[in-house]
Structure 1
């Protein structure tokens, strides 16, 4: 696969953040101790706001490992200050997200409070969780997301 300049820059940023933090990025995304609770996510936003979401690569999993109608894809999201990635579910759609730069807060169906994610941290999204994200900071948050997505 041929990589364009944006893809190469995103992958370089991912590698640089990994090297900067040591050999392995830090896993994050766990609810603070004592704050695990069902969260209906009432009033969660349902439309994106001030976010760009660009697919930078994908693999047809049927050709690779015999999983029909699913792609493994890599996306680059840039969430501007105040921007939102709207409420969505990860039922049947596992993902790993690394925060490349900036910081972002996740609001998850299994946690009573927001979960802050800093640059270099990875969030695991699976087990059917629902959640949404907001950039509560003053600088853009850049994320790389690898997920398994059903074809439309």
Structure 2
């Protein structure tokens, strides 16, 4: 994602917790040594966008999609059931609320607060619990096997318009939140030299954020707060992206986003890009398991 990068102080916050959810009488199963509930509760997940990576010409990632989902975990006692991530690296940003994560890599549950990020990589099983009254909202980007992604829609390549001009960035705070080394996740057997990355971008009223994507580096955007206009090289007329909606940018298209409102717009990006693009950049606010 070749774009303006202005680093800021870390916002994400998480800590080990002594709180423990009582599983007595709850249907459970054990995965990778972790016991957790098998059924979800007060849970809603919306697929915002999905992009087959084979159509991007990324042979190393054939058979998988870049996917964006928006999660709501109600409370109290909202549950995301136990599951594992060996075939599906992912990153979750906590947009609002506080939620406990029970992980096979940690002895105690992890408290994730609004603004924090969890990187789900390697041999990991986990489940989530919202013990408070406030609904927790999560923004998730993952690398989903195509065979398991029933929301996948084939995408035909659309050439970028050659005369599409990108404006200069203005009134933007753009941070790299986290990086998953896909090759390392699969122990070198798949996706070598590619990364799944997450960015948070704040656009001030009247501000503009351009993206310099290219073929083989698709991205998806989710608007958490505010409203933006999306100007794309593959669509003649700008479209409005309201709060809690998103879009998919692929097949070599470029775009820029303008904030025409009177409050800050907060956007999250999930990107597939070469690992070399983010080498030497320190993510802000990242929480990988074991880094508390």
TM-score range, shorter chain: 0.7 to 0.9
TM-score (norm 1): 0.74
CA apart distance, 1:97: 0.4
Relative to structure 1, the CA distance from residue 119 to residue 70 in structure 2 (aligned partners, 3 Å threshold; closer, same or farther) is same
Deviations 1:69-113 (A, max 9, x none): 200101000000111111011102110100000010000001111
Match of 1:94 in 2: 89
Match of 2:43 in 1: 51
Deviations 1:98-145 (A, max 9, x none): 000001000000111100000000100010200000001110000000
1:57 match: secondary structure = strand
Separation of aligned partners in 1, 2:138 and 2:43: 11
Q: Return 5+ residue gaps in structure 1 as ranges.
A: 1-21, 33-38
Task: Say if 2:39 and 2:81, in contact at 8 Å, map to a contact too.
Answer: yes
1:63 match: secondary structure = helix
Match of 2:34 in 1: 41
Which one has more relative contact order, counting CA pairs under 8 Å at least 6 apart? Answer: 1
Match of 1:61 in 2: 53
Quick check: 1:75 aligned with 2:72?
no
Task: Say if 2:12 and 2:113, in contact at 8 Å, map to a contact too.
Answer: no
Separation of aligned partners in 2, 1:128 and 1:74: 22
Separation of aligned partners in 1, 2:91 and 2:37: 22
Task: Say if 2:90 and 2:120, in contact at 8 Å, map to a contact too.
Answer: yes
Task: Say if 2:52 and 2:146, in contact at 8 Å, map to a contact too.
Answer: no
CA apart distance, 1:63: 1.4
Q: Return 5+ residue gaps in structure 2 as ranges.
A: 1-7, 18-31, 148-292
1:147 match: secondary structure = strand
Q: 2:102 aligns with which of 97, 102, 107?
A: 107
Instruction: Name which one, 1 or 2, has greater alpha-carbon Rg.
Output: 2
Separation of aligned partners in 2, 1:41 and 1:52: 24
More helix by share: 1
Task: Say if 1:25 and 1:122, in contact at 8 Å, map to a contact too.
Answer: no
Deviations 1:1-59 (A, max 9, x none): xxxxxxxxxxxxxxxxxxxxx5655375x768xxxxxx7222x1112111001110111
Quick check: 1:131 aligned with 2:108?
no
